[in-house]
Chain A
């Protein structure tokens, strides 16, 4: 489809394992955001890319969390040595740059990757 695609949709990891979550943004979208959503709470900002540049990583909770977008399209969120508190839904969102004539002010979200750490 033409929406933001995330994979895997569900991931179960044992505590201490490394995981990688993938986001395919909508074609042409320059801006890409990652959010973490714990059960029963609103999404919390993790990090922001404009093209391949990571402009804001203030929301990453620890140095175990790492995100990259090497070619300015697909992005990967990596969590090293997972802990139980990392269990959450990880949401990716993308948009046109705000000064683009195609921008409508809308941020398009994927359906998320649900991570469960045992």
Chain B
């Protein structure tokens, strides 16, 4: 599975959009981009995934560049409850997920 690169931490003001970047320059053609988050003392929680098109659900939007070498997760209106570690993962559909260190997002009032 391709390795991803994320900033170690980010801050965001409550109510503003949180834009979390991820680089995956070695992603394979059949690998998806998955985003999960992990709130303190809980198991990881699925957010969204996509192959090449942009995706949106009730939690977030996923923007994937045309060359698929990077993506951005957007939380449109961050709340304090969105403070968590966010993981960007590349994996073939249905395969095991290989987690990196992720980005610690701190939402501040």
B94 near A106 with CB under 8 A, answer no
Contact flag A112-B43 (CB < 8 Å), given A56-B96, A97-B94? yes
Interface residue tally of chain B, by bracket?
20 to 34
Residue B101 lies at the interface, judged by CB distance under 8 Å to chain A: yes
A93 near B93 with CB under 8 A, answer no
Q: How far is the CA of A35 from the CA of B96 in the complex (A)?
A: 10
A111 near B99 with CB under 8 A, answer no
Contact of B49 among A93, A105, A111 (CB under 8 A): A105
Closest to A40 in B: B101
Contact of B94 among A31, A108, A111, A112 (CB under 8 A): A31
Contact of A93 among B41, B43, B85, B87 (CB under 8 A): B43
Chain B min CB distance to A50 (Å): 10
Closest to B44 in A: A109
A107 near B97 with CB under 8 A, answer yes
8 Å CB interface, B92-109 against A: 93-94, 96-102
Residue A72 lies at the interface, judged by CB distance under 8 Å to chain B: no
Q: How far is the CA of A12 from the CA of B100 in the complex (A)?
A: 27
A98 near B93 with CB under 8 A, answer yes
Chain B min CB distance to A21 (Å): 14
Residue B42 lies at the interface, judged by CB distance under 8 Å to chain A: yes
Which chain B residues lie closer than 8 Å to A109 at the CB level? 43-45
A43 near B96 with CB under 8 A, answer no
Query: What are 25 of the A-B contact pairs (CB < 8 Å)?
Result: A31-B94, A33-B96, A33-B97, A35-B99, A41-B101, A42-B85, A42-B87, A42-B101, A43-B44, A45-B98, A93-B44, A95-B94, A97-B94, A98-B93, A98-B94, A99-B94, A103-B94, A105-B34, A105-B93, A107-B46, A109-B44, A109-B45, A110-B43, A111-B42, A112-B43
Interface residues of B (CB under 8 A from A): 32, 34, 36, 41-46, 49, 85, 87, 93-94, 96-102
